[in-house]
Copies of this chain bind each other. A is one copy, B any other.
Amino acid sequence: MPDTDRFDLVVLGAGTGGYSAAFRASQLGMRVALVDEGPIGGTCLHRGCIPTKALLESADVLARVRRAREFGVLVDGSIEVDYAVVAARRDAVVKRMWTGLRSLVKRNGVEWVQGRGRLDGPTTVRVALAGEDGTPGGGGERTLEAHDVILATGSRTKSLPGLVPDGTRVITSDDVLRRGTLPASIAIVGAGAVGVEFASFFHDMGTQVTLLEYLPAIVPLEDADVSVVLERSFTKRGIQVITRARFDTASVVADEGGVHVDVGRDGEAGTREVRAEVMLVATGRAANVEDVGLETTTAAVDRGIVVVDDHMRTAADHLYAIGDIVGGLWLAHTAAHEGLIAVHTIAGEDVEGMDYAQQPRATYCRPEIASVGLTEAQCADRGLPTKIGKVPFQAIAKAVIGGEYEGFAKVIAHAETGETLGVHIIGPHATDLIAEASLAMVLEAQPWEIALATHPHPTNAEVLAEAAMAVDGRSINF
């Protein structure tokens, strides 16, 4: 006989967006249930950001060890990778953070419901409970009634039409993050954030990397100047980069010997054969909108994503949606921000709506990339007059000290109003440095105000201050 419970809020999906929403709702005094068939932490913790960055950290250590001599540290003997240790550390990091999250469920007084949830109308969630032994559906059904529901069922890897990952020769990021061995060579399809992170990682680890991108630039969503620096850096390191890559997915051959496919470049005659032990498909993700009961509500789904307003409301009263299922940026921290907006809206607060232009983006290849706001091209498309400050890391003492000074910071401001329109950083610690730019955007700080804040010397953070000053032709150290 099904249990029925009443909650103020039921959150369906316990990824970063879901658990952030659940914890905050509980902090605001709501009675909250958090439902997921998988472990808390979702894609980001178990199959995304966290294990990937753990792998990249090992790659960074390796790169640093290889360069140790120039810093006066002599390593006598061979330097080798024990990939079993790399993979075990990756898994240990995930486990540690997962343990932390489970304790936070308790600390926040959120009720954890392990099982597959499905909407039955906008404010009812039927959960096929996991059994004692974890068997999906083995624990019967429980019906949760809620005043409000937040849908946060996330996304899954997706491939190109006609190219079906087999988990062995043609793989996805999920497969990489499960594997305990390195391929000798890899062809990566797609040079977005996931593709370039893995390209950087595998190359460091000694795998021969070919990176295929359909568009004319790698990291095509970033500012064009960033793409240029990254492609130059990758090519110099020995990663084979093929932009404007064209191939027929049906012609990809995967056999005992590996994968091969003939690849041409748009606008050029002829093709060359790309051969690799495995092919990694990094061409984006698909939202998990199916089989969650959306058809029992009036919520709309358009081109595979749930339609929401800027306060994360679906068309169905009391039903909200956040994270990858609403498209947007497909980023964990953005999902968390959406979750907080939804919860504070549910709490009746007058909260600022979602503004994707204020969401930072971070890519952990080497050099790192991070950005917030508009690219120069987007400004041009919108007819916005701009003034730009761009300062290379080689002008920044701390970057020179660190021995990694490829890249730059670029601040784009409105030429007339002075408004900060976009900040783009490629170089050391970029992913940490963008936080300040993110704060500046939220507070509507103009470049001269960023420059007014003293940036400690010597730090990588000075690059932002210098670029902000450069907007008005007033940089000091460049």
Binding site for B on A (CB under 8 A): 16, 19-20, 23-24, 27, 44-45, 49-50, 53-54, 57-58, 61-62, 64-65, 67-89, 93, 96-97, 100-101, 104, 331-334, 336-337, 352, 358-362, 370, 395, 397-398, 400-403, 429, 431-436, 438-443, 445, 449-450, 452-462, 464-465, 473-474, 476-478
Contact = CB atoms under 8 A, between A and B. Distances in A.
Nearest to A443: B443
A71 B58 contact: yes
Given A443-B445, A450-B439, A100 B395 contact: yes
A119 to B, nearest CB: 25
Given A49-B397, A100-B477, 10 more contacts: A49-B458, A50-B401, A61-B73, A62-B68, A62-B71, A73-B82, A77-B78, A100-B395, A431-B456, A439-B450
Contacts of A429: 429, 432
A359 B53 contact: no
A366 to B, nearest CB: 14
Classify the interface of chain A: helix, strand, loop or mixed.
helix
A361 B75 CA distance: 35
Contact of A332 (B19, B81, B450, B457): B457
A422 to B, nearest CB: 15
Given A53-B398, A73-B61, A452 B442 contact: yes
Contacts of A400: 93, 96-97
A53 B433 contact: no
B104 A477 contact: yes
Give the most central of A85, A359, A431, A476: most B CB within 10 Å.
A476
